[in-house]
Amino acid sequence: MFTGIIEELGRVAALESKPAGARLTVACSRILQDATLGASIAVNGACLTAVELASDRFSADLAPETLKRTNLGALTPGAPVNLERPLRANSRLDGHFVLGHIDATAEVVTLEALGECNWWLSIRVPRELTRYIVSKGSVAVDGISLTVAEVDDDLVGFTIIPHTFEHTALKARQPGSLVNIEVDILAKHLEKLAVVSSTPPRASD
């Protein structure tokens, strides 16, 4: 489990295609300080397993499903990626509960300056996910815990503060870019509970 608070901005060192899936290698430093083989690392919000470790990089295998649902397969060498280690049980929860299980990609519609180094980001999300997104709720965008500022049908808007813009891969995005999104898992659970509670009990035989 993650929080959506990005720890480090890594760089893609290589993306090697395989008969089924791919292997991604990321150059970084901070998140490797306590990393071990098999450790989970969120890359642009997608939970990956470190299968190779070096002092300045790690590699992870991308399953076909991961390539299908995320923007990881479109990465090129040198591209910035958001990195986060899993939440420790004794850590502060500064963002929100992020599982690292990407729901889909969304298209960046606008990324424009608001002044004072603040930015406005709007993305177009798949319609089947809009029911989980509410104003002032949370959405993980490329692994970043963001607060929803505006919802207009399938357009979702966020105000990006200077720190977030400067220390994440958002500054490399532009209209037309695809970003990974993970909606709030609590909304999904509440929906299922509501459906179950409203379903009439089955008549006994």
Q: What is the CATH number of the domain that holds 130?
A: 2.40.30.20
Do 44 and 111 fall into the same domain?
no
Answer whether 45's CB lies under 8 Å from 106's CB.
no
Q: For residue 108, what pLDDT is reported?
A: 98
Mark whether 113 and 147 lie in a shared domain: yes
Active-site annotation, residues: 2, 40, 47, 49, 63, 101, 147
Using the predicted structure, report yes or no on whether residue 80 has a pLDDT greater than 70: yes
**203 band by pLDDT with thresholds 50, 70 and 90:** low
Phi, psi of 54 (to 5 degrees): -135, 180
- Its domain, for residue 35, covers 8-84
Whole-angstrom distance, CA of residue 28 vs CA of residue 81? 10
The pLDDT value recorded for residue 201 is 65
Number of domains present in the structure of the chain: 2
Does some domain include residue 71?
yes
pTM for this predicted structure:
0.91
CA–chain centroid gap for 157, Å, is 16
Determine the Cα–Cα distance for residues 171 and 83; give it in Å rounded to an integer: 15
Please check whether residues 113 and 171 belong to one and the same domain. Answer: yes
Band the pLDDT of 199: cuts 50, 70, 90.
Answer: low
Residue that terminates a domain, selected from 53, 84, 115: 84
pLDDT tops 70 at residue 200: no
On the question of pLDDT at 205 being above 70, the answer is no
Same domain assignment for residues 63 and 126: no
- Eight-class DSSP state of 32: G
Instruction: Give the length of the chain.
Output: 205
Q: Which of 83-92, 113-122, 125-134, 165-174 has the lowest mean pLDDT?
A: 83-92
Sign of the alpha-carbon dihedral angle for 123, 166, 85, 91? negative
Q: In sequence order, what are the beta bridge partners of 120?
A: 112, 159
- Which pLDDT does position 92 carry in this prediction? 73
pLDDT > 90? residue 88:
no
**How many H-runs (helices) and E-runs (strands) does the chain carry?**
3, 13
